[in-house]
Structure 1
Amino acid sequence: MYRPALGDLDAVIAIAREGSFRGAALALGMSTTALSNAVAKLEAKLGVRLFNRTTRSVSLTDAGRTFVEQVSPALQDIHGAMDAVRSQQATPSGTLRINAFAAGARDVMSPLFLEFLRRHPEVHVDLVAEGRLVDIVAEGFDLGLRRADLVPADMIAVPLGRPQRYAVVATPRYFKQHGKPRTPTDLLRHRCIRIRLPNGALFRWHFEKRGETAQIDVTGAITLDEASLAREAVLDGIGVGLFLEQNVRDDIAAGRLTRVLDDWTPPLGDLCLYYPGRRNASAALKAFVSLARELGKRRP
C-alpha cells in the first residue's frame, strides 16, 4: 500500500496556500521541478488530480480541496508533535522562517539575525522580506518583524529598542534651487516621490505636531513601490522623498541628503519581533527570542 512521504503532503498544502508552484517551492526551500515531480507522483498514486494547472494559474480541484481540508489538520498535529520533541533539544537546530518588512530587517540584520547565526551555527534562518502584512501562522512562518502598532493582538511581541520614524529628505542642491518646505502643506509646491503600497493604493504622507495632524497627497514625476529605488531617485535630485529613518540615516549623516519637517515626524512606535504563543516552542525559536529580548534592552 502506498504511503506518501510527509514532505509530499507538505508540498500539496504549500501549493494550496501560496497559489503557485514557484511560491510553494520558495517557501519549502526546494526547486520547482522537484516540487512538481513530488505532486505528480502523489497524484498518480492517488489516481486523481489535486490541482488544475494552466500557464497562468494553479487551483485546487474538488478532490484536491477535499484532500487539503482533511490532511491539513492532521499535518498540523504531526508538526506540533515534532515541535514538542524539538523543544527538548539542548542545542538549537533546524530552520526558522521569519517574515519582515525590508527596512526593519536591515535595521537589525547584524545585531539580531547575523549575531544569532554566529551563536547558533546549526540553525538556518529563512527570512522573507516584503511590504504586505501577512498572517504568519497561516503562511507557515515562525516569527514576524513589524512596527508595534502593526503586530496582531493575539501575538507575543518583543520590542527591539528601535523606534520607527519617518524622515522627509532631498539633496542640498534640490533645496537650494526650490527652497525648503516649512510645513507639510508646502510639499504641495514641490516635486515628490510618490509611494505605491503593496495593495496598490497610493500612500498619503502623514504628519503630526503637538496634536495637529496632516495627510498630504503629494505629486511628482515618478511613483515607486520600493524604498531603494525611491532613495536613488532622491539622491539624483528628482525631488523630495519620505522614508523610514533607517533607510536614509547614513545619507543624512554624510550630507548627501538634508532632512526637513523634523518636528512633524514624531516616533511611530518600536520595532517588534512577534510570534504565536506556543507551548512547545523549538530550542531555536527560544534562543532567537532570547537574543531579541537581549537586543531590546540595549540601545543602537
Structure 2
Amino acid sequence: MRATDLSELAAFDAVARHRSFRRAAEERGVTASALSHAVSNLEARVGIRLLNRTTRSVNLTDAGAMLLSQLSPAFGDIGSAVDALNQFRDTPFGKVRINAPNSVAPFVFRSVMAPLMARNPKLELEIVATDRLVDIVDEGFDAGIRLGESLREGMTAVKIKPLLRFAVVGSARYFERHPMVKSPEDLRNHVCIRNIYPSGAPYPWEFSQAGRIIEFEPTGPLSLDDHELMVEAALSEVGLAYVWEERARPHIADGRLVECLASWSAPMEWLYLYYPTRKFMSAGLRAVIEALRV
C-alpha cells in the first residue's frame, strides 16, 4: 500500500469516528479542507461514496460504515505497535488528550502538571476543561474525569486525587443583614444561587449528618453553571452559593466569605479518571494515570 493510500484511510477513519471534519482536523493537526480533499481522493479511487456530507452533518454510508468497522481495529493495532516503541525511550512520547469538568480541573491538575511534564519532556498533554457532557470516544479523548465510577460498558475507572466536598458560603456583609444558617431547613429563608448543568437542568444541594441525607432545591432568581461565577456572586452579596470548598477556601481564609452548615457538609466526593478498556494502553496515558491516581 502506498503512503498516500494509508494517509487517505487515516483521514477517513478520523472523520468517520468524529462525524465531523473540524473535530477530526483538530485531532490530526491539519486543516479541515485537507481532510476533505483526502477523503474525496479516497472515494474517487475506490469508486464508492463513503460519507454523506451536508453543511451541518457528516454521516456514513453503508459502505463507509463497513470500511470503518474494519479500519478502526487495524489503526488501533498500528497505534499500539508505534506506542510500544516507548519501551526503548527514556520517557513516554506523544499526545494525550484529557477531558475534565471545568469546575474541578484546577484542583486536579494544579500540582500535577509541572512535575508530570518535567518527568516526561516528550509527552504532549492536552487538557480540555468543560462542564459540557462529553463522549470521550466520539470526541477523540484518551481519557476523561468525572465524579463517581458509574460508567458505561467498555470503560475503566481509576480513583484520582483530590477528595472534594461542597460548601455553602455567603459574604460576610450578607450575614450582617441576614441570620446565620444553622440547618438546611433555614435555607428556605435565604436567597440561594441555583446550580445548573450546562444543559440547564438543575442539581440539588446535598447535605449529610449522622447518616441522614437531605437534598435542597434552591428557587432563587439566579442560576449558574460555573463555580467561579457562583463564588463571585456570593462575594457580591447576591446570595448563598453551593460550591466546591476548594474554590471558596481563599476567600474564607481572608474573611470575605463565611462558610455555614459545616456540620452538615456535603459528602466527600472522589474523582475518577476513566478511559476505554483496551488491550494496550499508551505509555503517555499510563504516565498521566500514575501522576493522578490516589
Given that 1:92 and 1:120 are in contact with CA atoms closer than 8 Å, whether structure 2 keeps it comes out as yes
CA distance in 2, matches of 1:123, 1:244: 30
Given that 2:132 and 2:198 are in contact with CA atoms closer than 8 Å, whether structure 1 keeps it comes out as yes
2:170 counterpart residue number? 170
Render the CA deviation track for 1:211-236: whole Å, top value 9, x for unaligned.
21111121122222222333332322
Given that 1:84 and 1:281 are in contact with CA atoms closer than 8 Å, whether structure 2 keeps it comes out as no
1:267: how far off? 3.9
Cα RMSD after superposing both structures: 2.9
CA distance in 1, matches of 2:276, 2:169: 37
1:257 counterpart residue number? 257
One-letter identity of the residue aligned with 2:13: I
Given that 1:163 and 1:271 are in contact with CA atoms closer than 8 Å, whether structure 2 keeps it comes out as yes
User: Which consecutive residues of structure 2, in runs of 5 or more, have no partner in the other structure?
Assistant: none
Render the CA deviation track for 1:46-104: whole Å, top value 9, x for unaligned.
33333322233222233322322232222222223223333443322111122222233
Given that 2:157 and 2:272 are in contact with CA atoms closer than 8 Å, whether structure 1 keeps it comes out as no
CA distance in 1, matches of 2:140, 2:126: 11
2:156 counterpart residue number? 155
What count of residue pairs does the alignment treat as equivalent? 293
4+ residue runs over 6 A deviation = none
Render the CA deviation track for 1:174-202: whole Å, top value 9, x for unaligned.
22223332222322332222222245421
2:62 counterpart residue number? 62
* Map 1:1-300 → 2, pairs under 5 A: 4-132=4-132, 134=134, 136=136, 139-150=139-150, 155=156, 157-160=158-161, 162-275=162-275, 280-293=280-293, 296=294
User: Which consecutive residues of structure 1, in runs of 5 or more, have no partner in the other structure?
Assistant: none
CA distance in 2, matches of 1:6, 1:220: 57
Given that 2:18 and 2:140 are in contact with CA atoms closer than 8 Å, whether structure 1 keeps it comes out as no
Moved more, 217-226 or 145-154: 145-154
CA 1:213 to 1:156, structure 2 compared with 1: closer, same or farther past 3 Å?
A: closer
Q: TM-score, normalised by structure 1?
A: 0.82
Given that 2:184 and 2:207 are in contact with CA atoms closer than 8 Å, whether structure 1 keeps it comes out as yes
Given that 2:25 and 2:35 are in contact with CA atoms closer than 8 Å, whether structure 1 keeps it comes out as yes
Moved more, 139-148 or 226-235: 139-148
